[in-house]
Structures are given as structure tokens and as C-alpha cells.
């Protein structure tokens, strides 16, 4: 346990710095809860304009949104702040992280204590609960396990995407918001039934990058609905495998990236 002490000290320091500007922090807390609420209300607005979107009803789509929201929020809460890596690389502050005898990834993960994102998690989970309640799900053992595993697998998957996107900065310091296309873009992609997207775009995001297994396929399995795109019913159970594969790739790229890193010298 003594090994965790330095991390606890880091967390304590971040906690104090996060709460120094108290009014600003309070606004951050509330805004974070609002962020997920806005994503979800967008679904309601769109389904108000059309009863069926991409062949799915609001209730069915909400299950996909709920799985995405809870998985994404869990990833964002834990490793989401890694997207600050490009700033650390540019400013040269990554050096101070590298010289400490602690893990690089864990240090960066707690570098900006995501306390303000806690509220977001509550909202994300609430969406999933409402979505499950508003659908007629057969409570088989397989479905119960899937309902617990799918958000966790989603979190691991999104966490891997966060790490992969951030790793870009090791090679391309000025990568700007490219990472956001896959982290936040991936979240938006998985919030809707993938039947709404054009063929090649869907092929890249859903199957090339694996986003189809975050919420679309698990939701179909939970709903007991056949996939209009033709994948078998058990495809939903692939979500943890896809997540683990993503985590493996992310870990590999991250390690190469750290070795590739050259300080700016500042």
C-alpha cells in the first residue's frame, strides 16, 4: 500500500488546486451534469421530429444512448484528461512527469482531478436506468450479464480511444482536435443506431474502428432484435473482446509513443 502514497499526495494536491477558485468550480460541476443532459435531450428533440429514425424507435435508441453515456462517462471520468497530453508535450511539462519514479499514465490521469465529472456519471447512469425500464427486455442470465458488462466494456473501449488519441501528440504536437473526432465523435456515433450512417462511413467507424460494439450490438442483443445489417444475434457479446483488443493496441501505441518522446527542452 505504501506504493500508493505518492499518488494520494498528487490527488490531494489536485483536489486543492481544483477547489481553489470555488465559484468557478461550482459552475464546472453543474455544467458537467448538464453536458450529458444536453446529449440526451438532443435524442428527444430528434425523435420528436420523427417517430422512427434509422428504423428504431425512441425507446430502442435510448438504450444505445444509455449504454454509450454510461460507458463514455466512466472512461472520461478516469482517463479523459489524458487529452491534455498535447499541452504537456508542447510546454515541456511532460518532463516533470517522466523524471518521477511513478507510472506515467497514472500520473497524467490524475493530473487534472476529474472531480467535476462525477456529476456526469450520475446522469449517464440515470439515462441507462430509464432506457432499460422503457424497453421490454427478456431477463435471461445472458442479458443480465450483458447489461453489466456492456457499459464496462464501453468504458474500457472509450478509455483506449482516449489514450490512442492522446498518443498522437507524441508524433504530431500540433494535432489540435483530431483526437476529439474519435473520442467525442465516437461518443456521438454510438449514441444513435448505426443504421442512420452511410455505408462507407459506418464501415469505418462501426467495424474498422470497432465503435459498433460499444452500444449498437449489445443493445440489439438486449432487445432481442435482429440486426437490420445482418450480423448474428450473439454479436452483442463481442463487446468485451473488442474492448480488450482496443486496450491492447492503445497500451502498445502509448509505450512506443513514450519512447519516441523528445523533450522540447524548455
Partner 1 sequence: MRASVATFGALMWSGFRRYATYRQATVAGSFTNIVFGFLRCYVLLAVAAGAAGGVAGGYDARQLATFVWVGQGLLNVVGLWGWNDLAERIRTGDIAADLLRPVPPVTAYLAADLGRAGYQTLTRFVPPVIVGALAFPLVAPSRWQTVPLFAASVLLAVVGCYGCRYLVNATAYWLGDARGPLMFWTLSSGVLAGLYFPLRLLPEWLTVTLWVATPIPGLLQTPLDVLVERDGPALQAGLVGLQAVWAVIMVALAGVVQRRAERKLVVQGG
Best CA proximity match to 114, nearest among 171, 166, 75: 75
Binding residues among 164-193 for partner 1 as defined by CB under 8 A: 172, 174-178, 180-182, 185, 188-189, 192
Q: Does 50 bind partner 1 (CB under 8 A)?
A: yes
- Cα distances from 39 to residues 33, 56, 162, in angstroms, run 11, 18, 19
Best CA proximity match to 39, nearest among 61, 55, 23: 61
The CA radius of gyration of the chain, in Å to the nearest whole number, is 19
What is the contact mask toward partner 1 in residues 108 to 147, using x (rule: CB under 8 A)?
A: ----------------------------------------
Query: What cell does 7 get?
Result: 499518488
Nearer to partner 1, 61 or 238 (CB): 61
Q: Does 262 bind partner 1 (CB under 8 A)?
A: no
**CA distance linking residue 232 with residue 47, whole number of Å:** 27
Q: Does 196 bind partner 1 (CB under 8 A)?
A: yes
CB 210 within 8 Å of CB 160: no
Q: Does 49 bind partner 1 (CB under 8 A)?
A: yes
Helix H or strand E segment including 7: helix 5-18
Q: Does 221 bind partner 1 (CB under 8 A)?
A: no
**CA distance linking residue 158 with residue 171, whole number of Å:** 21
Binding-site member from 5, 48, 259, 262 for partner 1 (CB under 8 A): 48
Binding-site member from 4, 52, 122, 144 for partner 1 (CB under 8 A): 52
Q: Which residues bind partner 1 (CB under 8 A)?
A: 20-21, 23-28, 30-32, 34-35, 38, 42, 45-46, 48-54, 172, 174-178, 180-182, 185, 188-189, 192, 195-198, 201
Amino acid at each position: 500500500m505504501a506504493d500508493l502514497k505518492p499518488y494520494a499526495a498528487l490527488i490531494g494536491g489536485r483536489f486543492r488546486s481544483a477547489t481553489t477558485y470555488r465559484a468557478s468550480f461550482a459552475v464546472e460541476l453543474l455544467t458537467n451534469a448538464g453536458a450529458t443532459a444536453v446529449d440526451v435531450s438532443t435524442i428527444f428533440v430528434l425523435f420528436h421530429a420523427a417517430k422512427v429514425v434509422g428504423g428504431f424507435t425512441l425507446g430502442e435508441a435510448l438504450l444505445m444512448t444509455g449504454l454509450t453515456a454510461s460507458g463514455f462517462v466512466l472512461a472520461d471520468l478516469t482517463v479523459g484528461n489524458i487529452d491534455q497530453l498535447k499541452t504537456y508535450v508542447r510546454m515541456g511539462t511532460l518532463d516533470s512527469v517522466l523524471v518521477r519514479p511513478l507510472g506515467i499514465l497514472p500520473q497524467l490521469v490524475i493530473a487534472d482531478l476529474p472531480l467535476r465529472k462525477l456529476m456526469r456519471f450520475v446522469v449517464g447512469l440515470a439515462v441507462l436506468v430509464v432506457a432499460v425500464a422503457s424497453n421490454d427486455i427478456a431477463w435471461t442470465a445472458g442479458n443480465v450479464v450483458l447489461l453489466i458488462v456492456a457499459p464496462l466494456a464501453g468504458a474500457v473501449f472509450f478509455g483506449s480511444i482516449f489514450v490512442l488519441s492522446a498518443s498522437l501528440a507524441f508524433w504530431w504536437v500540433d494535432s489540435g482536435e483530431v483526437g476529439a473526432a474519435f473520442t467525442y465523435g465516437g461518443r456521438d456515433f454510438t449514441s444513435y443506431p448505426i443504421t442512420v450512417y452511410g455505408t462507407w462511413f459506418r464501415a469505418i467507424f462501426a467495424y474498422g474502428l470497432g465503435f459498433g460494439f460499444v452500444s449498437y450490438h449489445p443493445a440489439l442483443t438486449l432487445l432481442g432484435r435482429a440486426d437490420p445489417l445482418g450480423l448474428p444475434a450473439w454479436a452483442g457479446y463481442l463487446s468485451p473482446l473488442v474492448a480488450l483488443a482496443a486496450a491492447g493496441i492503445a497500451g502498445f501505441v502509448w509505450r512506443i509513443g513514450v519512447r519516441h518522446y523528445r523533450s522540447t527542452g524548455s
